[in-house]
Amino acid sequence: MKRGKFITFEGGEATGKSTQTKRLAERLQQAGIPVVVTREPGGTPVGEDVRELIMKDRPTDPVTELLLFAAARAEHMTSIIRPALDEGTWVISDRFIDSTRVYQGKLYGIERTFIEQLERFTVAPDYPDLTLILDVPANEGVERAQSRGTLSRYDAQRIETHEALREGFLEIATAEPQRCVLIDGYLPVASVETAVWQAVSAHLLAEAD
Ligand code: TMP
């Protein structure tokens, strides 16, 4: 049995990840590929509890937050992601390790080696096969977050925050070009969907045949 492929969507606040996650899943299903859609934090009861906790009262210490995300991820890998990949199902996750690297690492200053160690114990060797990074200008991120009413979260009202997040994701895209594809998330939704499909076709569908 062929192992499933693991795709993640990443990007700052309000970059359109959730919409594109759903659209890609529909396209894969239409192509006859079994797919599981999930998200982080979330995807399991523990993960959804962590999401609720973090959204409600952000911990004071960024390390607390990092460990909560890591705990949710361990559970997610073991009970959802690995079993699906093992049975040949593709997995699409709305956020994954790069969100930790950028939010807890770049934005909140936690040492990279600590984050990498946690990845080793939670994710390795099942890193994503393809990561689609949705990139939107920082001012657009602020406007979108404002219109969604998510302003209080993660300093989303500050343009500097969106700039730092954007830069962090761009750095990852540059450092890992074999895994990551940068997508212009400022384009109309249908054009983003086309770009996503092109990336998936080029990177994964040809070799899945
Ligand atoms: P969202 O997925 O609805 O955008 O909300 C998740 C929030 O959690 C978002 O602000 C990014 C943040 N987050 C981290 O800070 N670290 C992580 O590892 C993950 C998965 C999410």
What per-residue confidence (pLDDT) applies to 153? 59
As given in the structure block, the two tokens for residue 32 are 């006859």
Distance CA 96, CA 17 (A): 12
Domain boundaries along the sequence of the chain: 6-208
Give tens-digit pLDDT for 99-112: 999 999 999 999 99
DSSP 17-33: HHHHHHHHHHHHHHTT-
What is the Rg, in whole angstroms, of the alpha carbon atoms belonging to the chain? Answer: 16
Pick from 48, 119, 35: nearest CA to 81: 35
Q: How many other CB atoms are there within 10 angstroms of residue 1's CB atom?
A: 6
What per-residue confidence (pLDDT) applies to 56? 84
Domain 6-208, CATH class in plain words? alpha beta
Q: Is 185 in the pocket of ligand 1 (CB under 6 A)?
A: no
- The fraction of the chain above a pLDDT of 90, given in percent, is 80
Contacts of 56 by beta carbon, 8 Å cutoff, 6+ apart: none
As given in the structure block, the two tokens for residue 64 are 């607390």
Instruction: Tell which atom from ligand 1 comes closest to the C-alpha of 100.
Output: 18
What per-residue confidence (pLDDT) applies to 207? 66
Give tens-digit pLDDT for 48-77: 999 999 888 888 899 999 999 999 999 999
What per-residue confidence (pLDDT) applies to 177? 97
For ligand 1, atom 9, name the residue with the nearest CA.
13
For ligand 1, atom 8, name the residue with the nearest CA.
41
Give tens-digit pLDDT for 178-190: 999 999 999 999 9
Residue bearing tokens 């890992």? 176
Q: Is 69 in the pocket of ligand 1 (CB under 6 A)?
A: yes
The pTM of the full predicted model, rounded to 2 decimals, is 0.95
**CB-facing half-sphere around the CA of 123: CA atoms within 13 A:** 18
What per-residue confidence (pLDDT) applies to 159? 87
Residues of the chain with pLDDT under 70: 149-157, 207-209
For ligand 1, atom 16, name the residue with the nearest CA.
100
What per-residue confidence (pLDDT) applies to 155? 60
